[in-house]
Amino acid sequence: MKRFAGILILAVLAICCIPKRSGETVPEPVPQKDTVYPLGFCTDSFTVVRGKIAPGDNFTGWMTRLGVPQLQAHALAQACDTVFDVRKLRAGNSWSAYKDSLAVQYVVYDNSQTRQTIFGLRDSVAVWTYEKPVEVLVRSTDVTIASSLWNDMSAAGASPDLIADIADIYAWTVDFFGLQKGDRFRILYGERRCEGEYVGIDRVHYAEFLRGDNCLQAIYYDQGDGGNTYWNPKGESMRKAFLKAPLKFTRISSGYSLHRKHPVHGTVRPHTGVDYAAPSGTPVMSIGDGTVLSAGRGSGGAGNMVKVRHNSVYTTAYLHLSKFAVKAGQRVSQGQVIGYVGMTGTATGPHLDFRIWKNGSPVNPLTLESPPSEPIMPENLPALDSVCRIRRALLDSLLRD
């Protein structure tokens, strides 16, 4: 069953014990310019002309085209200072020019769906910003897998942002290339909206991955230490030392085998890695922190290859790349792009041949048990348990409605 339900997140947020994002701040009050109007001036007092930034526009050229004298446009550019970077004027973004009978008095530039920059020209030049009110709705979804995470969640109406968040949260514990028909995701999350339009995902508060009788829960809880924020009910981090796979949303074209018939040579030889079929140019990520041992032409039919040493036990290699994003000796972090899928070396089509060695011996990447990261602080376990129970009850309630 696939369905969505939602309610306004008002008192519910406090009841659900959803902690504020670490480092989150309340927007500063909007400059009022001796008025109570949100933009800092009474928009109804002017004639408004609207348009979009044209390709190739620069700030002063745009302003002078709106009728602002060139000297005043230059003064306005200087006044922007740290409020607005005139070099980041983006083609396609909307603007509104407010005029009286004499000249343009205000110009409003839409930086994004939620942020506007106001350029005042009435008395003296001035620049300020306005953050539109954003409401956060509690949403829920229950999706059963029929083909893939992307296809089935998209069919259920989930945004690409939510799909990416779920893929990131479970990247260390769920093999998305091995999803089975009947696997299920139940998710409680916050959705940000501005003026009735979707803006983005606030965060996933709670999620479940179900396969048969097994339920893998993920609970958002910020300890305030700048570290992991998703945990299972035991307080173990959802983040592991290694990602389950080095790239996203592809398919396995050939698995680990000690007796595989080579697709080019036709001979039977070991294949001590996993082949991921993917379009050329697909980003390839390091599955863990480490140091690049080599980034160049590999031996035999490996083609362009990056090799990463993660610690004294584990080393990984990424073969047949079209190009590199790192160089030998460079430190890389988990999830960092190190190259791009290609078909260099001996290959019948674009794919990534991914290999892992443990203590110098090849191991099957699909069955490797990744070591865990640091668990939650013991003193936070009772709070985590309470948050888990409350959010699971809320998810059940929403999905019943």
| Nearest Cα residue to 31 out of 97, 175, 129, 156 | 129
Residues of the chain with pLDDT under 70: 1-36, 249-272
Question: Which pLDDT score is estimated for 260?
Answer: 37
Type of residue at 253:
S
Write the DSSP assignment of 95-124 as a string of letters: EEEEE-SSSEEEEEEESSSSEEEEEE-SSS
| Nearest Cα residue to 218 out of 229, 231, 228, 209 | 231
Q: How large is the C-alpha radius of gyration of the chain? A: 26
Residue 102 half-sphere exposure toward CB, CA atoms < 13 A:
6
**How many Å apart are CA 159 and CA 202, to the nearest integer?**
12
The neighbouring-strand residues paired with 307 are: 294, 317
CA 325 to chain centre: 20
List the domains of the chain with CATH numbers: 43-121 (3.10.450.350), 251-363 (2.70.70.10)
Question: Which pLDDT score is estimated for 123?
Answer: 82
Look-up: residue for tokens 């106001």? Answer: 118
Type of residue at 195:
E
Q: 78: helix, coil or strand?
A: helix
H-helix or E-strand spanning residue 77: helix 70-80
Question: Which pLDDT score is estimated for 29?
Answer: 52
Tell me which DSSP letter residue 69 carries: -
**How many Å apart are CA 207 and CA 188, to the nearest integer?**
6
pTM for this entry: 0.67
φ/ψ of 113, rounded to 5, equals -65, -25
Question: Which pLDDT score is estimated for 251?
Answer: 54
Q: Is the dihedral of CA 289, 292, 295, 299 positive or negative?
A: negative
